[in-house]
């Protein structure tokens, strides 16, 4: 394939990727967005394979076969609740790929047309250093995020004295080593950059608590994009540069939006995190306070006699896979003339859009699902707020207690509804480690049990 046709094909692929991002901006067009992304990737991969510089199709197709088989098996076996940690694992692979490409380019630069070993161009060395550093940070950070999301380690922040100064020193050292590499091209400098980048990626993520995991996932997505962009420069591949830049910038914008949704500074989250801290002033022993407990029959009676019910899904719904039973419950209520809507908090779950994905899987109509800004004013006129598995995103302490780690985070105003039905396994705290004051309000009725089982029992009672 000629250079002109290659450039044109990559341009078409880039346009498809941009249209894919545009489609993914709304649940109603997400499927078309995915299709455009697939078409763009097929064009990009096919164009790359037709490059006359390809010398071993056997190795390429062997890699596609092995990777495709593993990916297919994982896709069929993965639960929807485990999707966030799967995304984190994928990000780690992109990061490691960037590191490996940088290693290959450093030791065999002639294969990439950037010089010879010990005599690599300055621009290529800078690109290589940045790609290796970002890739290593993405890899180690994603591994830590995966371990926290999977429950292999505690989701609480891990902090120690002089943590920020240490990160600053490592960051400065990476920059200094990059300069040394440019002038000396010493393998020791190169490997020092890689090792320190692995270390700082680990140190950046461990102080981030479970309440910040949506931001972590989107930020690692951004890192993986910039790592791919760095690979593109090393490989002089236009499609990879454009794709990496799109993913990197989109992930950064999404991270900013998520932080705005939590009323937090993105720098505070990334440099120290919040959530998971134990704040004595913000907590009370659940056993020392009484709550009003109800049954599925009570919930069915209250909702069937309501004019409007607003459903607030959370991660507990995802864990129990209760979205299908929830939709069936909503359908029965609508048959009885009840107006049912769904309220989604931007950081509900463990990744951006987690609740939207689950509701879409259960075929909940898109026009019944509303974001916080769109529906928060309606809780004051709603008869019932049905909270299923959410916690921190409904906690009134975010508005009243300055000592709380979630203070200042916009929440869903479920406490303003006539009655709040709170479906939860126990009175346990959420990711932020803070008891929910809403549990103990007079207008709140707690429904203890598995979310799916309780929703199914409510369906039976409605029937």
CATH code of 434's domain? 3.40.50.1220
Residue 47 and residue 189 share a domain:
no
What CA–CA distance (Å, rounded) separates 308 from 419? 11
The stretch 159-174 carries a mean pLDDT of 88
In terms of Cα–Cα distance, which of 102, 444, 103, 148 is closest to 290?
444
SS3 at position 248: helix
Residue 375 and residue 308 share a domain:
yes
Domain-embedded: residue 276 = no
Domain-embedded: residue 277 = no
Q: Which residue has the higher pLDDT, 408 or 432?
A: 408
Phi-psi region of 70 (alpha: psi -120 to 50; beta: other; left: phi over 0): alpha
**What does DSSP say about strands 308-313 and 119-120: parallel, antiparallel, or unpaired?**
unpaired
What pLDDT band is residue 197 in, cutting at 50, 70 and 90? very high
pLDDT of residue 282: 38
Domain-embedded: residue 279 = no
Domain-embedded: residue 39 = yes
**Whether pLDDT at 281 is above 50:** no
Residue 254 and residue 107 share a domain:
yes
Residue 201 and residue 72 share a domain:
no
CA distance between the termini of the chain? 65
The stretch 334-348 carries a mean pLDDT of 91
What CA–CA distance (Å, rounded) separates 169 from 162? 11
What pLDDT band is residue 275 in, cutting at 50, 70 and 90? very low
Domain-embedded: residue 292 = yes
* Boundary (domain end) residue, out of 18, 42, 77: 77
Q: How far is CA 159 from the centre of its chain?
A: 22
Residue 90 and residue 73 share a domain:
no
**pLDDT tens track for 127-166:** 889 999 999 999 999 999 888 877 787 767 787 888 888 9
Number of domains in the chain: 3
**Whether pLDDT at 172 is above 90:** yes
Residue 303 and residue 190 share a domain:
no
What pLDDT band is residue 284 in, cutting at 50, 70 and 90? very low
Q: How far is CA 321 from the centre of its chain?
A: 19
Domain-embedded: residue 278 = no
Residue 207 and residue 336 share a domain:
no
Residue 101 and residue 71 share a domain:
no
What CA–CA distance (Å, rounded) separates 44 from 242? 11
The percentage of residues in the chain with a pLDDT greater than 70, rounded to a whole number, is: 91
Q: How would you list the strands of the sheet with 419-424, edge to edge?
A: 369-371, 339-344, 308-313, 384-388, 419-424, 444-448
**pLDDT tens track for 103-125:** 999 999 988 888 889 899 888 89
What pLDDT band is residue 274 in, cutting at 50, 70 and 90? very low
pLDDT of residue 431: 66
What CA–CA distance (Å, rounded) separates 46 from 44? 6
Residue 167 and residue 201 share a domain:
yes
* Boundary (domain end) residue, out of 271, 301, 331: 271
pLDDT of residue 285: 44
What pLDDT band is residue 278 in, cutting at 50, 70 and 90? very low
pLDDT of residue 288: 57
* Boundary (domain end) residue, out of 23, 52, 77: 77
**Residues 2 and 15 sit within 8 Å (Cβ to Cβ):** no
Q: Which of 53-57, 204-208, 382-386, 437-441 reaches the highest mean pLDDT?
A: 382-386
> From the candidates 392, 401, 413, 435, which is the catalytic residue?
392
pLDDT of residue 435: 81
What pLDDT band is residue 269 in, cutting at 50, 70 and 90? low
**Residues 364 and 399 sit within 8 Å (Cβ to Cβ):** no
Q: Which residue has the tokens 């480690």?
A: 433
What CA–CA distance (Å, rounded) separates 406 from 330? 31
**pLDDT tens track for 36-86:** 999 999 999 899 888 877 778 888 899 889 988 988 888 788 776 677 788
Residue 452 and residue 317 share a domain:
yes
Among 6-20, 41-55, 262-276, 376-390, the least confident range: 262-276
Give yes or no: 339 in active site. no
Domain-embedded: residue 281 = no
pLDDT of residue 272: 53
pLDDT mean across residues, the chain: 85
Range of the domain at 53: 1-77
Residue 157 and residue 110 share a domain:
yes
For the four alpha carbons of 183, 188, 194 and 198, in that order, the dihedral sign comes to: negative
Domain-embedded: residue 241 = yes
Residue 72 and residue 217 share a domain:
no
Q: Which residue has the tokens 């008869």?
A: 383
**pLDDT tens track for 383-413:** 999 999 888 889 998 888 887 777 788 889 9
């Amino acid at each position: 394939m000629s250079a002109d046709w290659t450039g044109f094909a990559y341009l078409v692929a880039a346009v498809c990727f941009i249209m894919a991002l545009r489609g993914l901006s709304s649940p109603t067009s997400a499927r078309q967005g995915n299709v455009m992304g697939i078409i763009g990737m097929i064009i990009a991969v096919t164009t790359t394979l037709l490059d006359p510089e390809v010398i071993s199709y056997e190795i390429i197709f062997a890699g596609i076969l092995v990777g495709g088989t593993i990916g297919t098996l994982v896709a069929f076996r993965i639960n929807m609740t485990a999707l966030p940690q799967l995304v984190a694992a994928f990000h780690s692979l992109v990061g490691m790929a960037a590191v490996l490409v940088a290693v290959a380019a450093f030791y065999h630069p002639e294969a990439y047309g950037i010089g010879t070993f010990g005599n690599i161009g300055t621009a290529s060395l800078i690109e290589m250093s940045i790609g290796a550093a970002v890739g290593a940070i993405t890899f180690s950070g994603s591994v830590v995020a995966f371990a926290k999301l999977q429950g292999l380690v505690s989701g609480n922040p891990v902090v120690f004295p002089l943590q920020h100064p240490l990160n600053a020193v490592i960051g400065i050292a990476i920059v200094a080593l990059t300069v040394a590499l440019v002038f000396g091209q010493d393998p020791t400098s190169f490997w020092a950059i890689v090792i320190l980048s692995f270390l700082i990626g680990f140190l950046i993520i461990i102080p981030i608590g479970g309440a910040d995991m949506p931001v972590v996932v989107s930020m690692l997505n951004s890192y993986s994009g910039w790592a791919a962009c760095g690979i593109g420069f090393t490989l002089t591949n236009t499609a990879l540069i454009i794709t990496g830049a799109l993913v990197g910038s989109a992930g950064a914008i999404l991270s900013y939006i998520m932080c705005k949704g939590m009323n937090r500074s993105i720098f505070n989250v990334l440099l120290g995190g919040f959530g998971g801290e134990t704040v004595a002033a913000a907590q009370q022993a659940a056993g020392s306070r009484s709550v009003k407990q109800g049954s599925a029959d009570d919930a069915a009676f209250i909702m069937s006699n309501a004019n409007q019910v607003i459903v607030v899904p959370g991660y507990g719904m995802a864990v129990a896979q209760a979205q299908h039973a929830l939709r069936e419950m909503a359908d029965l209520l609508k048959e009885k003339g009840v107006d049912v809507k769904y309220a989604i908090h931007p950081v509900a779950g463990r990744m951006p859009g987690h609740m939207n994905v689950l509701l879409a899987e259960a075929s909940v109509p898109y026009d019944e699902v509303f974001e916080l800004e769109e529906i928060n004013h309606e809780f004051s006129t709603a008869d019932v707020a049905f909270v299923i598995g959410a916690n921190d995103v409904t906690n009134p302490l975010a508005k009243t207690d300055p000592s709380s780690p979630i203070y200042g985070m916009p929440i869903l105003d479920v406490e303003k509804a006539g009655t709040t039905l709170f479906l939860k396994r126990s009175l346990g705290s959420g990711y932020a480690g803070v008891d929910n004051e809403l549990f103990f309000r007079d207008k709140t009725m707690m429904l203890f049990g598995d979310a799916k089982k309780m929703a199914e029992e409510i369906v039976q009672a409605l029937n």
